[in-house]
């Protein structure tokens, strides 16, 4: 449907029953756009269209829209005529703009929100806030801030502003608006679902579904800035194996290529990496996986730089590193000459992959750590944004850079081989990036209690922006606030609390600069810090059957792994703006400890040697959402929801609560994710409500699951009849288990719950794929 009102062309385009695209542009001007984010094509949608007076109404089976033919204002309603969102009167603006020689506009659109409404999403910011009401954001990609112009409302709708230029988002007492520096028109998508899960699902349907990660990516990861030789890296994996502490991934950070003039050569030119194939093979021989740092910029002495320069695919603005001299402080008298490549250029992306494939992927590397994917843009000047890209000025497409560079690697790798699922860890993101097998980390955050707390809302809003995989550097990247951090008791507690939080993030990875963070640098077995770190690594592996099943929900049902409380408790107003709790999957409530319990400001005097005394136990206040009962994970105690409680939180305890009706599988004790098959699982039943859980299994890597090669086993708990049903196994794949045991535990107060596997079970059943009904005595 298209019409012209007051010199503005307006087009309403339904993509499906719940998703509508709105396009506005000045009359007489062409609007031709191939979205970088949106990949869904409009589906045939049955519509009822009426015109009454000055109002044009369009109704689908899930949504109705009213267009005021007099002033062009658009309003969105549900089928019961409840107002969801409306544009502000005269809220669309086009301002003539010369974008590096191209005539275009600065564009904006204002909306009106209800006073009690909360909004979420918009990417990741380090503000410590869940709701984005009364917020102004200058949306230009940065190291620790990722911007995705998608907002999700507590009223059950979402708006995706499909623009890639620097954008201001603001919500204030007058209105809510997006304003972008460059645009041939206003272009946004409205989607209605009634709840956050459905809206996120609509965003994924629009911009791409998230594929499965390999099982090993959900194990524990260790990295450091940086391992300085291949021997040092391999020795870390060996040390974990000697200590019998689980590990699945090791990461090599920068400078394996040599000096800064060889920046990101995508070859091992540093002599300390004398036999990279041997290094990768040794890591694999230790049953671990390896990924490696790659950047989006190149030093002037690299082959890739020279190839890109020939096709004019290098930008001229200042990026990291500024100096060719590797020691600090930065010496700008010896400029590095490093330049960012034009990821918008398909021929440049071809060159990038060809060199990466020959230099590193061919060695058997398991994945990529794409650093500076925003990219680093230092001392930014207005003229820098005039830089030409393959798709126009850098200003026009600036925020979509991470989408293009991550997508370039993913698409090329998939063409090269589908034996290995794509896994990319990256520092920045844009709408649609989930379709490329990418996990975003929160950037180079400084270690502090405030930073730890801020990670929670940062990760949750990122997930609410449609991208489900996220993590932070466990322990914080920089250690500016701590002297002698490994012996500083305040930092030791912070590191443990961050490790506890990281256990319940989609990726669990310890990383940082300055001092090494491997657990054995914090002491030996028997030391409280060491023991707490080890405890949570083991707990992570115990939860792998639950985590992998949740990841299947992410792929198959567009679900989310790290869930803001609004996703599951939108009827509980007390839960809508809580910024230090979340659901991990749909069953586990996590309330990280985000302030020092023991050692705050204790170790400023280096002449005093404090003693690790954890005899005093403090408490953390936790809100348990209404509408369900909860079980304390550690004690098995049942607690009614809708109240605030205090939970004792000694060093090795993070408050965890399991939703009534949960069926929670526990995996075997292992040293790596695939060491043992899941043929002897413990299954914990948390009574008090009906519940379901589906155990998902496949070949753990490759893309055969997309061909239907996987199995599901559905467990159902009927609270009234007190019966657990294990249904028929569905599906098949090569190497699947035909026979197994399930060890059933009905959780109750003080009955052997918590991190450890239970030694005495209520029921032990043999299962060969056929339905079993188990009655609780």
Residue 304 CB: number of other CB atoms within 10 A?
Answer: 24
Do residues 255 and 366 both lie within one domain?
A: yes
Tokens of 655: 């408050």
Looking at the structure of the chain, the number of domains it has is: 3
Task: Give SS3 for 436.
Answer: helix
Which residue stretches of 503-557 are H helix?
A: 528-542, 544-557
- What's the pLDDT score for residue 613? 79
Is residue 750 predicted with pLDDT exceeding 80? no
Do residues 505 and 365 both lie within one domain?
A: no
Do residues 185 and 224 both lie within one domain?
A: no
Is residue 751 predicted with pLDDT exceeding 80? no
Strands (E), 582-679: 582-584, 588-590, 619-624, 629-632, 638-640, 643-648, 656-659, 663-666
Kindly report, residue by residue over 15-60, the tens digit of the pLDDT: 999 999 999 999 999 899 999 999 999 999 999 999 999 999 999 9
Which residue stretches of 465-507 are H helix?
A: 489-502
- 312 labelled catalytic: no
- What's the pLDDT score for residue 608? 52
- 444 labelled catalytic: yes
Least confident of 413-427, 575-589, 594-608, 750-764: 594-608
- What's the pLDDT score for residue 149? 98
Backbone torsions φ then ψ of 237, nearest 5 degrees: -65, -45
Do residues 575 and 712 both lie within one domain?
A: yes
Do residues 592 and 500 both lie within one domain?
A: yes
Backbone torsions φ then ψ of 384, nearest 5 degrees: -60, -35
41, 13 Cβ separation under 8 angstroms: no
Do residues 176 and 261 both lie within one domain?
A: no
* CATH code at position 49: 2.60.40.1760
Question: For residue 313, what are the CA distances in angstroms to 293, 307, 355, 409?
Answer: 21, 9, 15, 16
- Average pLDDT over the chain, rounded to an integer: 96
Kindly report, residue by residue over 273-325, the tens digit of the pLDDT: 999 999 999 999 999 999 999 999 999 999 999 999 999 999 999 999 999 99
Q: Distance (Å, rounded) from C-alpha 685 to C-alpha 759? A: 16
Kindly report, residue by residue over 550-567, the tens digit of the pLDDT: 999 999 999 999 999 999
Is residue 603 predicted with pLDDT exceeding 50? no
In-domain check, residue 201? no
- 371 labelled catalytic: yes
In-domain check, residue 688? yes
Q: How would residue 616 be classed by pLDDT, with cut points 50, 70 and 90?
A: confident
Q: How would residue 490 be classed by pLDDT, with cut points 50, 70 and 90?
A: very high
Do residues 24 and 97 both lie within one domain?
A: yes
- What's the pLDDT score for residue 426? 98
Which residue stretches of 286-393 are H helix?
A: 303-310, 346-359
Which of 407, 422, 437 lies at the terminal end of a domain, its last residue? 422
In-domain check, residue 142? no
Choose the catalytic residue: 162, 366, 374, 376.
374
With a pLDDT cut of 90, the percent of the chain lying above it is 94
In-domain check, residue 395? yes
- What's the pLDDT score for residue 534? 98
Domain span including residue 185:
2-112+157-192
DSSP 310-327: HTT-B--S--S--BS--S
Largest CA distance in the chain: 82
Kindly report, residue by residue over 317-364, the tens digit of the pLDDT: 999 999 999 888 888 899 999 999 999 999 999 999 999 999 999 999
Kindly report, residue by residue over 411-435, the tens digit of the pLDDT: 999 999 989 999 999 999 999 999 9
Do residues 667 and 767 both lie within one domain?
A: yes
Q: Distance (Å, rounded) from C-alpha 209 to C-alpha 35? A: 16
Tokens of 221: 């990861």
Kindly report, residue by residue over 688-721, the tens digit of the pLDDT: 999 999 999 999 999 999 999 999 999 999 999 9
Choose the catalytic residue: 118, 162, 371, 568.
371
Is residue 753 predicted with pLDDT exceeding 80? no
In-domain check, residue 440? no
- Average pLDDT on 202-225 reads 98
């Amino acid at each position: 449907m298209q019409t012209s009102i007051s010199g503005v062309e307006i087009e309403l385009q339904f993509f499906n029953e719940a998703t509508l695209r709105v396009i506005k542009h000045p009359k007489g001007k062409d609007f031709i756009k191939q979205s970088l984010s949106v990949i869904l094509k409009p589906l045939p949608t049955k519509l009822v269209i009426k015109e009454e007076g000055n109002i044009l109404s369009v109704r689908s089976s899930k949504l109705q829209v009213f267009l005021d033919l007099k002033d062009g204002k658009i309003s969105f309603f549900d089928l019961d005529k409840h107002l969801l969102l409306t544009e502000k009167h005269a809220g669309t603006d086009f301002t003539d703009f010369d974008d590096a020689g191209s005539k275009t506009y600065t564009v904006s659109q204002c909306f009106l929100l209800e006073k009690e409404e909360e909004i979420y999403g918009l990417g990741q910011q380090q503000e410590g806030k869940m709701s984005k009401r009364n917020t102004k954001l200058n949306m230009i990609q940065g190291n620790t801030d990722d911007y995705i112009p998608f907002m999700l409302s507590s009223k059950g709708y979402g708006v995706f502003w499909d623009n890639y230029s620097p954008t201001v988002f603001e919500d204030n007492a007058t209105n809510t608006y997006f304003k972008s520096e460059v645009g041939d028109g206003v272009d946004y998508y409205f989607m209605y679902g009634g709840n956050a899960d459905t809206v996120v699902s609509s965003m994924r349907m629009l911009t791409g579904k998230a594929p499965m990660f390999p099982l090993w990516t959900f194990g524990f990861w260790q990295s450091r800035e940086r391992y300085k030789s291949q021997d040092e890296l391999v020795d870390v994996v060996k040390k974990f194996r000697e200590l019998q502490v689980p590990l699945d991934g090791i990461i090599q950070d920068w400078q394996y290529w040599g000096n800064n003039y060889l920046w990101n050569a995508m070859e091992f030119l540093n002599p300390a990496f004398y036999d990279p194939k041997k290094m990768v093979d040794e890591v694999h021989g230790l049953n671990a996986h390896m990924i490696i740092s790659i950047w989006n910029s190149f030093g002037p002495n690299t082959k890739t730089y020279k190839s890109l320069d020939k096709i004019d695919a290098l930008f001229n603005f200042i990026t990291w590193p500024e100096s060719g001299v590797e020691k600090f402080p930065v010496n700008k008298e010896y400029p590095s000459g490093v330049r960012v490549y034009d990821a918008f250029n398909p021929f440049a992306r071809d060159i990038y992959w060809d060199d990466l494939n020959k230099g590193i992927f061919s060695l058997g590397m398991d994945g990529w750590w794409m650093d500076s994917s925003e990219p680093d843009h230092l001392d930014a000047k207005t003229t820098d944004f005039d830089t030409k890209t393959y798709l126009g000025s850098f200003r026009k497409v600036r925020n979509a850079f991470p989408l293009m560079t991550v997508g370039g690697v993913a698409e090329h790798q998939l063409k090269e081989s589908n034996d290995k699922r794509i896994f990319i860890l990256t520092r920045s993101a844009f709408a649609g990036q989930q379709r490329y097998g990418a996990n975003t980390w929160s950037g180079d955050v400084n270690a502090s209690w405030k930073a730890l707390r801020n990670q929670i809302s940062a990760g949750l809003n990122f997930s609410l922006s449609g991208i489900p995989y996220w993590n932070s550097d466990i322990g914080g990247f920089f250690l500016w606030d701590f002297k002698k951090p490994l012996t500083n008791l305040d930092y030791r507690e912070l590191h443990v609390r961050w490790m506890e939080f990281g256990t319940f993030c989609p990726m669990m990875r310890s990383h940082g600069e300055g001092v090494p963070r491997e657990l054995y640098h914090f002491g030996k077995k028997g030391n409280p810090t060491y023991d707490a770190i080890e405890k949570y690594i083991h707990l992570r592996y115990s939860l792998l059957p639950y985590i992998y099943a949740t990841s299947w929900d992410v792929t198959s049902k567009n679900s989310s792994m790290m869930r803001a409380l609004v996703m599951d408790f939108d009827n509980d107003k007390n839960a809508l703006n809580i910024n230090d709790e979340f659901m991990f999957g749909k069953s586990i409530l996590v309330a990280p400890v985000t302030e020092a319990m023991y050692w705050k400001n204790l170790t400023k005097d280096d002449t005093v040697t404090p003693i690790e005394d954890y005899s005093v136990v403090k408490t953390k206040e936790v809100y348990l959402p209404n509408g369900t009962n909860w079980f304390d994970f550690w004690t098995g105690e049942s607690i009614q929801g809708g109240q605030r409680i205090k939970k004792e939180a000694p060093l090795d305890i993070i408050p965890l609560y399991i939703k009534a009706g949960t069926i929670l599988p526990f995996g075997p004790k292992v040293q790596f994710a695939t060491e043992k098959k899941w043929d002897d699982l413990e299954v914990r039943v948390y009574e008090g409500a009906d519940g379901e859980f589906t155990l998902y299994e496949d070949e753990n890597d490759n893309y055969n699951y997309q061909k239907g090669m996987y199995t599901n086993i559905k467990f159902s708990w009927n609270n009234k009849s007190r019966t657990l049903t294990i249904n028929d196994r569905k599906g098949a794949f090569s190497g699947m288990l035909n026979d197994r045991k399930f060890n059933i535990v009905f959780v109750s107060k003080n009955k052997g719950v918590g991190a450890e596997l239970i030694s005495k079970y209520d029921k032990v059943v043999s299962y060969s794929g056929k339905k079993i009904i188990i009655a609780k005595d």
